[in-house]
A and B are shown apart, each in its own frame.
Chain A
Amino acid sequence: MTESKAFNRVSTVILTVLVVLAMLPIVLIVVASFTAETTLIRDGYRFMPKELSLDAYYYMLKQGKIILRSYGVSFLVTFGGTAVSVLLTTMLAYPMARKAFKYRNLLAFFVFFTMLFNGGIVPSYIMWTRFFHIKDTIWALMIPNYLVSAFNVILVKNYFQNSIPDSLIEAAQLDGASEFQIFVKVMLPLAVPTVATISLFTGIAYWNDWTNGLYYVNNEKFYSIQQLLMKIMSNIQALRSNSNASLLGTGAVDLPSTSVRMAMAVIGILPIVIIYPFVQKYLVKGVIVGAVKG
């Protein structure tokens, strides 16, 4: 009994240390965003800075037109992309889950194969830019890569198949409902938990995405918050490796002070941290269901 207690105590201590270590890096940039610029320059990043200030956030509110705009782009892409993605994913999963559907195995293989083999970024890049002319449009942030993931389709298909009894579908058919009506009125409402899980995965993927921007967007107008952060960082690097300050002019984005940069990173994380307590349940569930079959 006491041995078990000792083990419990040791576990608690080790895990507490781990959790604190995991949180410290995030705390460091949050603190930096509230640190006075002069203090940051003099002492560097500190967990307990000598002087605190809200200047970075005031600056963002007053001057941050580009910042606000990129924030808007991120929200638009996240909500728009997720909505379309959920629609396409569930519509693809439903026929796969119907035993009556003649081509279900073919369809399942068609979806599944995309997990095994891919053509790589070079052919994709050439296709999107040369044939679809997607460069520097809002579509570039929404359409490539993220709309349908085989992983999500299989997750929803399994849910349709295992958690919704066939008798419900048969009853609806007897009532004369069409396949589309069954999908919208019977299946979707019953699949809310899984739809919530894939919406979260997809939404977070869109919010955090910077690769589509990296490949397909050069126009500042369509910068997401992630791409704006990325551009600022590469300008810092350019400045460091090349003392010629005029280089900055080509970057389009001016170099904000260190505390403003950190404040921008903080608002880049903010939406996720705000929704996190409410959605954690669905995320954990999705991780567990998806881990092995992912």
Chain B
Amino acid sequence: MEKTLVKSRKKRFSNLSLALIALPGVLYLIINNYIPMFGVFLAFKKYSLKKGIFGSDWAGFDNFKFLFKTKDAFIMTRNTVLYNVAFIIIGTIVAIAVAVMMCELGDKKRVKGFQALLLLPNLLSWVVIGFIVYAFLNADSGYLNNTVLRTLGINPVSWYATTGPWPAILIIVFLWKNMGYQSIVYMASISGIDKSIYEAAAIDGASKMKQIFKITLPLLKPTVITLVLMSIGRIFYSDFGLFYQVPQNSGALFNVTQTIDTYVYRGLMELNDVGMSAAAGLYQSFVGFVLVLIANFTVRKIDPDNALF
């Protein structure tokens, strides 16, 4: 009797000290993540600096009505979704191709070296990448105008004011930055495949190509499906750096570079339109939340081990 009492007291004490250890992190998440979640009510207010966030008048759905009346809502949604679709399709294909080739190299040292170099662009900041792209694209001294186009005898292009090439430019920059990162994941997955399957196939006379298409790719399928579904869950979010730093915030390009994230930033910091900006932000968070739930639900049906929850 006494023993169990001591034990239960000890347990309670242990629970308390464990809770105390978690406390600082919990407080941070409450401030940094949870309070702003409740702040989404700003999307339903007619925000005025003077009246403050609580004193400002309610606007109902007016902010959303205005937002969806503008062309911006369509443009930013279209850009965010279409770029993500392109990134998912092209990015996945390139990453798998790189991973398959890497695994065929055999020479471990060379694989490590290639891997290291391909991952390096992933570690650069978007600001520095903005500088690098500028070195290629700027009108006067950029590498493309000065060297490539001149050698080909083509007139210089004012890249930061011409919308046409930007989808291609952004996809190339995305691939450059993320190719190494994504291929590492697929390499890990390929190296988990049982080697004896390949040996058996080789004995049966299956060519290398056949082995890749009949063994490697089918066995990669669960990883691919999981990763693609997770990306689809995030299709309403864009990489702010890619769409803000790389086009240098050039107004002439907004039609092809504006995404929901850049719109929210510009609304808040450049146009001071808090209500509209908050409405766009909530639109993103809400649709994003629903998509993540759907994506996860689907993953759980196909491959329960890889579901987030």
B102-132 CB contact bits vs A (8 Å, 1 = yes)? 1011100010101111111101111110111
Shortest distance in angstroms between B42's beta carbon and chain A's nearest beta carbon?
A: 6
Task: Point out the residues of chain A lying under 8 angstroms from B98, CB to CB.
Answer: 15, 18
Q: Once bound together, how far apart are the Cα atoms of A74 and B116, in whole Å? A: 24
**Of A57-65, A124-132, A159-167, which stretch is located at the interface?**
A124-132
A193-222 CB contact bits vs B (8 Å, 1 = yes)? 000000000001001111100110000000
Shortest distance in angstroms between A74's beta carbon and chain B's nearest beta carbon?
A: 10
Q: Pick from B101, B143, B282: contact of A15, CB below 8 A.
A: B101
Interface centre among A118, A268, A269 (most CB of B within 10 A): A118
- Asked if residues A179 and B42 are in contact (CB atoms below 8 Å), the reply is no
Q: Once bound together, how far apart are the Cα atoms of A4 and B128, in whole Å? A: 41
Q: Pick from A88, A119, A179, A210: contact of B38, CB below 8 A.
A: A119
Q: Pick from A122, A144, A226: contact of B42, CB below 8 A.
A: A122
> Chain A interface (Cβ within 8 Å of chain B)?
3-4, 7-8, 11-12, 14-15, 18-19, 22-23, 25-26, 28-29, 32, 40-41, 43-46, 87-89, 91-92, 94-96, 98, 100-103, 107, 110-112, 114-127, 130, 143-145, 147-148, 153, 178-180, 183, 204, 207-211, 214-215, 226-227, 229-230, 233-234, 237, 258, 261-262, 265, 268-269, 272-273, 276-277, 280, 283-284, 287-288, 291-294
Known: A29-B135, A95-B21, A265-B131. A44 touches B277 (CB 8 A): no
Known: A229-B127, A258-B141. A115 touches B36 (CB 8 A): no
B79-111 CB contact bits vs A (8 Å, 1 = yes)? 000000000000000000010011011100010
> What are 27 A-B residue pairs whose CB atoms fall within 8 Å in the complex?
A22-B118, A22-B121, A22-B176, A23-B117, A26-B120, A28-B136, A88-B24, A92-B22, A100-B18, A101-B15, A111-B29, A114-B34, A120-B36, A120-B278, A120-B284, A122-B268, A127-B31, A127-B39, A145-B32, A183-B21, A208-B126, A210-B245, A230-B130, A237-B250, A268-B128, A269-B128, A288-B185
Task: Point out the residues of chain B lying under 8 angstroms from A147, CB to CB.
Answer: 28, 32
Q: Once bound together, how far apart are the Cα atoms of A12 and B114, in whole Å? A: 10
Known: A100-B14, A102-B15, A118-B33. A8 touches B24 (CB 8 A): no
- Asked if residues B101 and A287 are in contact (CB atoms below 8 Å), the reply is no
Q: Once bound together, how far apart are the Cα atoms of A214 and B98, in whole Å? A: 36
B226 at the interface (CB under 8 A from A): yes
Known: A92-B22, A210-B126. A233 touches B120 (CB 8 A): no
Q: Once bound together, how far apart are the Cα atoms of A122 and B279, in whole Å? A: 9
Q: Pick from B102, B114, B124, B249: contact of A237, CB below 8 A.
A: B249
Task: Point out the residues of chain B lying under 8 angstroms from A87, CB to CB.
Answer: 24
- Asked if residues B32 and A126 are in contact (CB atoms below 8 Å), the reply is no
Q: Once bound together, how far apart are the Cα atoms of A249 and B11, in whole Å? A: 65
Q: Pick from B53, B126, B208, B227: contact of A7, CB below 8 A.
A: B208
- Asked if residues A116 and B289 are in contact (CB atoms below 8 Å), the reply is yes
With A7-B209, A210-B126 given, name 5 new contacts (CB 8 A): A101-B19, A114-B29, A121-B281, A122-B42, A215-B269
Task: Point out the residues of chain A lying under 8 angstroms from B248, CB to CB.
Answer: 233-234, 237
Q: Once bound together, how far apart are the Cα atoms of A60 and B180, in whole Å? A: 33
What does DSSP make chain B's interface, helix, strand, loop or mixed? helix
Task: Point out the residues of chain A lying under 8 angstroms from B309, CB to CB.
Answer: 112
Task: Point out the residues of chain A lying under 8 angstroms from B259, CB to CB.
Answer: none
Q: Pick from A18, A25, A45, A230: contact of B141, CB below 8 A.
A: A45
- Asked if residues B37 and A101 are in contact (CB atoms below 8 Å), the reply is no
Q: Pick from B14, B42, B123, B223: contact of A276, CB below 8 A.
A: B123
Interface centre among B32, B176, B226, B274 (most CB of A within 10 A): B32
Task: Point out the residues of chain B lying under 8 angstroms from A214, CB to CB.
Answer: 269
Q: Once bound together, how far apart are the Cα atoms of A40 and B48, in whole Å? A: 49
- Asked if residues B36 and A288 are in contact (CB atoms below 8 Å), the reply is no
B140 at the interface (CB under 8 A from A): yes
Q: Once bound together, how far apart are the Cα atoms of A268 and B264, in whole Å? A: 28
Shortest distance in angstroms between B109's beta carbon and chain A's nearest beta carbon?
A: 13
Q: Once bound together, how far apart are the Cα atoms of A118 and B40, in whole Å? A: 9
Q: Once bound together, how far apart are the Cα atoms of A287 and B227, in whole Å? A: 13
- Asked if residues B35 and A123 are in contact (CB atoms below 8 Å), the reply is yes
- Asked if residues A287 and B184 are in contact (CB atoms below 8 Å), the reply is yes
Q: Pick from A11, A91, A233: contact of B104, CB below 8 A.
A: A11
Shortest distance in angstroms between B220's beta carbon and chain A's nearest beta carbon?
A: 13
Task: Point out the residues of chain A lying under 8 angstroms from B249, CB to CB.
Answer: 234, 237
Known: A23-B117, A25-B136, A272-B123. A123 touches B42 (CB 8 A): yes
Q: Once bound together, how far apart are the Cα atoms of A269 and B114, in whole Å? A: 19
Task: Point out the residues of chain B lying under 8 angstroms from A229, CB to CB.
Answer: 127-128, 131
- Asked if residues A284 and B184 are in contact (CB atoms below 8 Å), the reply is yes
Task: Point out the residues of chain A lying under 8 angstroms from B43, CB to CB.
Answer: 122
- Asked if residues B188 and A122 are in contact (CB atoms below 8 Å), the reply is no
9 A-B pairs with the lowest CB-CB distances in the bound complex, closest first:
A123-B39, A120-B281, A44-B146, A92-B25, A119-B36, A208-B125, A44-B141, A11-B101, A123-B36
Q: Pick from B22, B38, B112, B226: contact of A95, CB below 8 A.
A: B22
